[in-house]
Structure 1
């Protein structure tokens, strides 16, 4: 082994360039099996961020089903999901630009040009489910005055006619038809709830034209239902958190029963429609994934006896389970050392059938996550994953401790997952420690932990991020004088609020983050328009609370430099949230930088923008923490700063 070079943390040279991080960001998702072919989605930053549909033929060849610029992405709830379905070798998908449903047929092996099923209108479609001659889906009508109207609809494949079959609730998801075609299950919920707060599970009769006799069989305003699914023999299964944990249940005419109850999470927050954590492999067995202590596990469950048998794998996270009808289940599988893959689960074996991008780092460069549990305010504990600086070619001076980058995830009802993320390894290979925090309100630890954030956004998340950083300081892992924090969306709010209301961090980076809670309450889209009532309170009735927790209203308390990244077309957190903050910090004299990306929404999908954001954050941190990155980076203009 070559002798290690001596250099300060942060200045280490890394083989992981921003280009490589972006190139490896090609994502795999939503595998589906039809006939003899496997289909999946690929998100492609190098194609302006579009989502392609790929088909693998029986001989292993792969073909693109959609020509550029077609983009399989729904805009229902702005976050989409369930944007394609396949039946009898015909692909149906929602195209991003016009939100119409298109059909792709094949001439032999080659896809024909997509043909429109629905016509351009104010309707958006998502959560597609194909029956014999119709597509069930969630429809969102933006042609009405006031907020959009959400319903369940069927699209007649013969003529493209759209018929509303269920309405009256504010939101709908998971239209799922029984195998005999006679009953439809679905969930619904109403403002101010989000789907992880409280939903209703319905079963209705379907006669091929309309729904009748809708019966609510589970759920409520304080019970979250996730993924209803019919078994091959006509039982309805679903996930409920009524015992604190998202567990499996079965329903039929004889009533409801728990299936393999455990203190683990079989469900997850429904940010994107169509999420699945289990699939039937025969009439009495399912393959499922659950989360325990932040790690994803895989298991097989005998639904008659409740016997749960873990399937041992090297993976730490699983998404989008889909049965092949012959005893196997496809899924997206993630580990700590390799990009996500599409795997097939059959019996006790989990075999990769589609690799993601090639690994950008060899094993000796990869920082493994350490699951930590640390004390926080109110006698509680919080969770996170710590990644130490890892670079076999460098060592820092013995007197130094590394800087720490605290990451606060979005949502905020979401979770940090211990999986391969080059966006983390980018920092650890340069000499940063990284703490990915699962603050109170995160999922994966039960409903009670999720509800720690109820009414406490801007308090609990801040405390937990600070206490996690201090825990690592006290252990001797990191330098207290070089603590950094970053986050996107809701994590961007946590970042800004920490910098406004706590005196701990030296520098921060906000990616499309919220700075004014009142603006968010007044301006955001329908799906999240009342979310803030769960997190903070009612506006304007509790205006004082919104003012007290809004970083924009407390610029006088800022002394910490911040860099902002924003998409010009963001409808979730509009650009004025960042721009008002930037102008206020300029006037106060705080070092600040701002990068606005035209053509980007909530999150950056174009490769060149994702690259620029990553490099600009490193440049900014280097300037503030007084180190020079080893990478050649185009400078970022920093207001109120002179070295």
Structure 2
């Protein structure tokens, strides 16, 4: 085949920012009600809003809410399942005002809750004609109050407090007889992956609280996903022994009883019947679907592996789940017996095989006799090749969280780079989820150290293998990944450029200026504040800005409540004073994570223009040049 020789980074590609974001939809929050599948789809055509759908018998999506509203909760800022279907009634959280709205038999949506209250993960308590919901109360001064409440479905819509006293509440699930509800709680400074409690409220005949029982646990353990089976057995996922695996509450002792003794991380599960469950789990960077015999603990994998798999929802004669592969983004799959098939794929860019870079899972040495993980994407474009005796530039991509994780799912944003001649390294540094509790805990209290070290050591390993040009390495990330990006530039000399999407520059400011959910997160990641202010200062890039000599692009939403805009503005102003090439692009109407296609397109194209200027190539296509500022003109003297 005849290739055109061109500088890495300058290759022409059919994968444009517009093709990625103008028709890039995603599905989430699958649930089955009345044997019917419902789900939320984020729609590029609706400017990134979340729309509620149901799946028809022909596997087509039937829209239930309008493109003018967004079905999205802001409880804990990140939200949870924002809708409930109960018979002919649909209840959903409207993002704009966070009220719950009801649609009854195609009627006009009507609000049933008040201002300054947020709700998520509602369940139907038909026995008592009410909803049971996680509520976040913003009516007072100071931190909002998280509780479990019952909302009467009579004309009054009166709310009754069922549980309070912990800082956070999530994941209620009602027993089949309607006499109990199980739910998860946790309190500062813990996060839900640190130390949580499984509680059960037992109701009297009139629906009042008879008592509240906490399922016994020993030491810190993360308990998730409580779920009753048809026979009333309460199942849950917990990491008592390092791995998030399946347990149940023993009916005689009331204590946890391990169901599945496997070193795997369960992402989601559903109970098919009293004897069998379906699980989605991660192991060594890939995901599987498996059937588990709940009595014998026998586990049988079903079909091939996935890049990701979750959101299992059980119907009468089938199971639905969401999954992705290296060549396909999130889609809805249907499992019948031991066979599954993809039945619904949301709109998204189609990437031809000739332009598709296949991720290569890698392990690399780091720390002191430790390892970290990631996925390496080599450049791929059948029309172009790099100049002789040159190697591709590398973009290191750091996930958010920071205890989140990346996987090998098709990511058109990565293919945007690889089809232009970049290599991409998507790193799972120590602390990432999916490799057990012990690996996850390696980030505590070492944030800003081990993540930066792993990003740097991954680059060194790739360079030693001859895969990349070590003199042309950029690092990029959003939120916590943005912090790692800034810290890597401030505390390492490996990276020649960086792009921070709403990254954290001053940890002390963040400790006092963020939302409730993460307001004590830094106690775990670094230590208590202000007692350990000196450590915060040491690890804050803003306090070592004089060490940042590589060009930096900063991208920020002005409505961000998680990482406020002043975090990006602080670093931008400091770099201008130090005459380092920098640019700051702010986006009105965007919060923590950009949703509007036009803004995502501008951000990605600006990043391409930025790397072209730094690494000395001209980007193909009609890319508007981002204007780099090298000095604060007000500080210059003639």
For the aligned pair, the TM-score class normalised by the smaller chain equals: over 0.9
Q: How does 1:610-625 map to 2 (within 5 A)?
A: 610-625=600-615
Q: Take 1:378 and 1:411, find their aligned partners in 2: how far apart are those partners?
A: 24
Report the counterpart of residue 271 of structure 1 in structure 2. none
Quick one: distance in 1 between partners of 2:209 and 2:618?
A: 65
Report the counterpart of residue 241 of structure 2 in structure 1: 243
**Alignment match, 1:266:** 266
2:162 pairs with 1:165: yes
Q: How many residues align?
A: 626
Look up the match of 2:252.
254
Match of 1:122 among 95, 111, 116: 116
**1:201 equivalenced with 2:198 (yes/no):** yes
CA distance in 2, matches of 1:530, 1:630: 45
In 2, the alpha carbon distance for the partners of 1:330 and 1:102 equals 26
Alignment correspondent of 2:333 = 343
Structure 1 residues 253-262 or 122-131, which shifts more?
Answer: 253-262
CA distance in 1, matches of 2:58, 2:615: 54
Match status 1:511 vs 2:508: no
Contact 1:200 1:220 in 2 (8 A): no
Shift of 1:221: 5.9
| C-alpha contact (below 8 Å) 1:18/1:615 kept by paired residues | yes
Separation in structure 1 between the aligned mates of residue 219 and residue 67 of structure 2, nearest angstrom: 43
Contact 1:339 1:357 (8 Å CA) reproduced: no
Query: Which of the residues 602, 605, 611 maps onto 2:595?
Result: 605
Q: CA deviation at 1:363?
A: 1.8
Report the alpha carbon displacement of residue 426 of structure 1 after superposing the two structures with TM: 0.6
C-alpha distance in 1 between matches for 2:383 and 2:623? 21
**Local SS of the residue matching 1:400:** coil
Pairing partner for 2:321 from 306, 331, 351: 331
Greater mean alpha carbon deviation, residues 138-147 or residues 567-576: 138-147
**Contact 1:589/1:640 (CA < 8 Å) preserved in 2?**
yes
The separation in 2 between residues aligned to 1:433 and 1:89, in whole angstroms, is: 51
Q: Is the 8 A contact 1:201 1:225 kept in 2?
A: yes
Of residues 174, 178, 203, the one that matches 1:177 is: 174
Residue 216 of structure 1 deviates from its aligned partner by 1.0
Q: Specify which of 289, 294, 297 is matched with residue 306 of structure 1.
A: 297
Deviation at 1:35, TM superposition (A): 2.9
The ranges of structure 1 where at least 4 consecutive aligned residues each deviate by more than 4 angstroms after the TM superposition are none
User: Displacement of 1:358 after TM fit?
Assistant: 4.8
- 541-550 or 34-43, which deviates more: 34-43
The corresponding residue for 2:31 is 32
- Answer whether contact 2:169 2:185 (CA < 8 A) is retained: yes
C-alpha spacing 1:415/1:193, structure 2 compared with 1 (3 Å) = same
Structure-2 separation of matches of 1:139 and 1:382: 38
Task: Identify which of 390, 398, 410 aligns with 1:420.
Answer: 410
In 1, are the aligned partners of 2:183 and 2:226 still within 8 Å (CA)?
yes
Determine if the alignment matches structure 1 residue 545 to structure 2 residue 535.
yes
Equivalent residue for 2:21? 22
Instruction: Select the residue among 397, 401, 405 that pairs with 1:407.
Output: 397
Contact 1:457 1:536 in 2 (8 A): yes
Matches within 5 A, 1:170-569: 170-207=167-204, 208-219=206-217, 222-255=220-253, 256-267=256-267, 277-313=268-304, 315-324=306-315, 326-569=316-559
Counterpart CA distance in 2 for 1:534 and 1:59 is 49
Q: Could you list the runs of 5+ residues in structure 1 that have no partner in the other structure?
A: 268-276
TM-score, structure 1 normalization: 0.95
CA distance in 2, matches of 1:176, 1:602: 29
TM-score by length of 2: 0.96
Query: Does the 8 A contact of 2:24 with 2:349 survive in 1?
Result: no
- The DSSP-based 3-state class of the residue aligned with 2:235 is strand
Match of residue 6 from structure 1? 5
Q: Mapping of 1:146-157 within 5 angstroms?
A: 146-157=142-153
The residue number in structure 2 matching 1:112 is 107
- Contact 1:37–1:58, Cα closer than 8 Å, also in 2: no
2:286–2:305 CA contact under 8 A, matched in 1: no
Is 1:575 the counterpart of 2:565? The answer is yes
Q: Is the 8 A contact 2:250 2:257 kept in 1?
A: no
In the alignment, is the contact (CA less than 8 A) between 2:22 and 2:597 conserved in 1? yes
Q: Check 1:61–1:334 CA distance in 2 against 1; reply closer, same or farther (3 A cut).
A: closer
Equivalent in the alignment of 1:274: none
Q: 1:387 to 1:219 in 2, by over 3 A?
A: farther
Distance 1:18 1:152 in 2: 42
Determine helix, strand or coil for the equivalent of 1:621.
Answer: helix
User: Compared with structure 1, are the counterparts of its residues 462 and 382 closer, same or farther at alpha carbon in structure 2 (3 Å cutoff)?
Assistant: same
Distance 1:477 1:59 in 2: 47
Q: Would the aligned equivalents of 1:382 and 1:440 in 2 still touch at CA under 8 Å? A: yes
| RMSD between aligned residues | 1.5
Shift of 1:89: 3.2
Shift of 1:247: 0.8
